[in-house]
Structure 1
Amino acid sequence: MTIELFREDGYLKHCTATVVSADSCGVCVDQTVFYPLGGGQPGDTGVLIRETGQQLEILDCCKDRDSGAHLHIVKEGALMPELGERVTLTLNWQRRHRLMRMHSCMHMLCVAVPAPVTGGSISDGSGRLDFDLPHPPGKEDLEQRLNEIIQENHPMTLSWITDQEMQQQPELIRTMSVLPPMGGGKVRLVKFGAADLQPCGGTHVANSAEIGAVRVQSIKNKGKQNRRITIEFAE
């Protein structure tokens, strides 16, 4: 199992690690700052620097379904590092920070639209959530409300509860289509001040104001009571 350094500190930009395996599926190390694809958030990109100084571009990061190990996907044909080799992993930080801002924005959107979430995804520069709503909200009113919540500068804090405690508090789960990361004995809760509290395994900014100004790109009907709201950065 790969140690996920980003779970405690999403602002870590690089780390040293030991290669556990390296093959056509990817490079697995004992610890990483790279977030793997999951929970609607894309996997991180960046570089792996070998002991020789050779740099391998990391195109994506994902989890092996069987072992749970993080696979750092490198370009086809790259000279793979050796088993036991010490390497340095460095994030494409600008991209990661944009993803952190947008993921945090999705939490604020949950506050602005108090309805069950039926799906969602995040990309570089935009994100969307699907809500179980009979009627879509007004675009301008929603945009104003969302930016007001963001500008309230809600500090982000992390805490942990047991799987059992999570099962006893189902009201904390906002996303109906994605279950919280359970099974490891504990669940991480992400709190933004007095605004939002929910289980989440993604990466987030230190306070809501760091998200910056956003705009409502679109509000679409995706079913009888399914409203898809897409958000993008205003600048």
Structure 2
Amino acid sequence: MTRLFCQEHADILRLDAQVLQSRPGAVRLSQHPFYPGGGGQLPDRGIVRWQGGEVPVTGFSEEGGLVWVQLPDRIEITGSVQTEVDPVFRQCMRELHTDLHVLNALVFRDFDGALVTGVQMNDDGTARIDFDLPGADNDRLRALEPELNDVIAQDLAVQTHYVSITAAHGEQGLLRSRSVAPPPSAEGLVRIVEIAGLDRQACGGTHLASTGASRPVRILKIENKGRSNRRVRIGLQGL
């Protein structure tokens, strides 16, 4: 997949662009700020403005590594446009995704490198992450909440860089999912999200610039899902 603008500039929510290709209900743009979804993160919400008005974005599709922005009512747009991400929704996704990385780091450290088996972020400020943890003590998982919030309060920097797919497979802990990994870029590179002094792992989503930009987090529930799966549900406080 082509690198996304939002992966390097998650705080820039409005961009001017040119329509490169158009068909009823979809456009391919010279640039856009949207995250199209994936890795358990929901697709961005937003709008496209042009000389004839504005419409909400209804979704995204990928064709040949290129992202098409879906529009309602089979609208056709040409020329210059302005795109804008819903700021409240983007902030929620950035917080949840960064907080899940912190929780993942703590579980990976304390539970012998347990791998992730599933992730889902929700627009109500909650999320869940599943771990391969046969026989795990759920109380030990629940007891991670104070340290999770301590890491948030430390305001650790969050940065991204790229490594080759070979290097990603060669460094233990960079690939944390049991079954999937972020797709490499056209250059064969994998995006790494690093929380200073705490964690490094492959990820394609949008994140905060530092952990302190997140609200505190509650561990809402821990569930046993099958013989080896533990599901941890979290929620942003105040929502």
TM-based fold match above 0.5: yes
**Poorly superposed stretches of 4+, deviation over 3 Å:** none
Corresponding letter in the other structure for 2:138: P
Look up the match of 1:40: 40
CA contact (8 A) 1:19 1:81 kept: yes
CA contact (8 A) 2:169 2:175 kept: no
SS of corresponding position for 2:93? helix
For residues 18 and 92 of structure 2, what CA distance do their matches in structure 1 show?
Answer: 28
Look up the match of 2:126: 126
Alignment partner of 1:68 is 2:65? yes
User: Which runs of structure 2 are paired with 1:76-95 in the superposition (5 Å)?
Assistant: 76-77=73-74, 79-82=75-78, 85-95=79-89
Q: Deviations over 1:123-156 (max 9, x none)?
A: 2211111011122432651222221222221111
- Give the CA deviation at 1:177: 2.9
CA contact (8 A) 2:3 2:185 kept: no
Q: Compute the RMSD of aligned alpha carbons.
A: 1.8
Q: Percent identity?
A: 30
CA contact (8 A) 2:142 2:222 kept: no
Number of equivalent positions: 229
Look up the match of 1:177: 179
Corresponding letter in the other structure for 1:160: Y
Normalised TM-score (structure 1): 0.90
For residues 3 and 16 of structure 2, what CA distance do their matches in structure 1 show?
Answer: 12
Alignment partner of 1:232 is 2:235? yes
- Give the CA deviation at 1:53: 5.0
Worse-superposed segment, 19-28 or 217-226: 19-28
For residues 221 and 24 of structure 2, what CA distance do their matches in structure 1 show?
Answer: 40
SS of corresponding position for 1:161? strand
Residue among 169, 188, 205 paired with 1:167: 169
SS of corresponding position for 2:226? coil
SS of corresponding position for 1:165? helix
For residues 2 and 25 of structure 2, what CA distance do their matches in structure 1 show?
Answer: 15
- Give the CA deviation at 1:186: 1.2
The answer for unaligned runs of 5 or more in structure 1 is none
Q: Deviations over 1:58-105 (max 9, x none)?
A: 123x332x412212222225x3212xx111101101111110010001
CA contact (8 A) 1:126 1:233 kept: yes
The answer for unaligned runs of 5 or more in structure 2 is 109-113
